[in-house]
Amino acid sequence: MTKFVLIAALGAIASVSAAGPAAVNLGKAGTYAILSKSGISTVPTSAITGNIGVSPIASTAITGFSLKMDSTNRSATSTQVTGSVYAADYAAPTPEDLTVTIGDMEIAYTDAAGRTPPDHLNLGSGDLGGKTLGPGLYKFGSSVIIPTDCTISGLPTDTWIFQMSGDLTMAANKRVKLIGGALASNIVWQVAGYVEVGAGAHMEGILLVKTAAHFRTDSSLNGRILAQTAVTLQSSTVTQPYLGRFLAQTADILV
């Protein structure tokens, strides 16, 4: 994306009234499809569109990807990743860049977790199955489950933050659907526990996860996995999202 096109896109976004909470600034973490502090594993074959990275742990914690180092030793490639692979033990400036990136991820998590006041408190006692969710700040003092399909409805400029003190679990073969122009890049799931997306299920949004994220066989995500422990994939598809209000915060990094 050129600087001109990016500026034009941001101008279009700014010209439309938006509903929902203020954007969470992802910083450099917004340039990764998957980011983890303690490891990323795949049971091949997964398909990831976007960069992946681990820090402070070393590249030995990236397993199942058959990594191939580039000539500078600053990054690696994998046939399962359309993008670059980074780790804390690669050549400079990668370690320093990752330290900043991990810090940005943690800042974004703290920001999302601290937002008040909620527009919706403990909606459905944490059961989002069958619901249509408009823009806003949703707070849950529990785990959240998605046992049946749910829908997120809004404009391309609208935003959502889902705060939960427990886990986020999605049943096998279920879907989070977007309608009305809602964008995955404008949806943040702040999860104090772990995330588990069941086999064949499809998720949408930015996952800011305090612990682990597990994607079961043939599951998929349109969004980002930003996890403070491990990420495990089983023949999963992760695609970084299109530009939205949250991603726009990282515009200076992308150009």
Residue boundaries of the structural domains of the chain: 27-239
Give me the pLDDT at residue 17, please: 72
Give me the pLDDT at residue 107, please: 98
Give me the pLDDT at residue 56, please: 98
Measured distance CA(224)–CA(174) in Å, rounded: 19
Give me the pLDDT at residue 1, please: 39
C-alpha angle with apex 123: 119 to 126, nearest 5 degrees?
130
pTM of the model: 0.91
Query: Is the CB of residue 90 less than 8 Å from the CB of residue 75?
Result: yes
Instruction: Tell me which amino acid residue 169 is.
Output: T
Over the chain (255 residues), what is each successive 10-residue block's mean pLDDT?
41 62 97 98 98 98 98 98 98 98 98 98 98 98 98 98 98 98 98 98 98 98 98 98 61 42
Contacts of 152 (CB under 8 A, 6+ apart): 132, 133, 160, 176, 177, 178, 179, 182, 187, 204, 205
What region, left, alpha or beta, does residue 27 occupy, with left being phi > 0 and alpha being psi -120 to 50 degrees? left
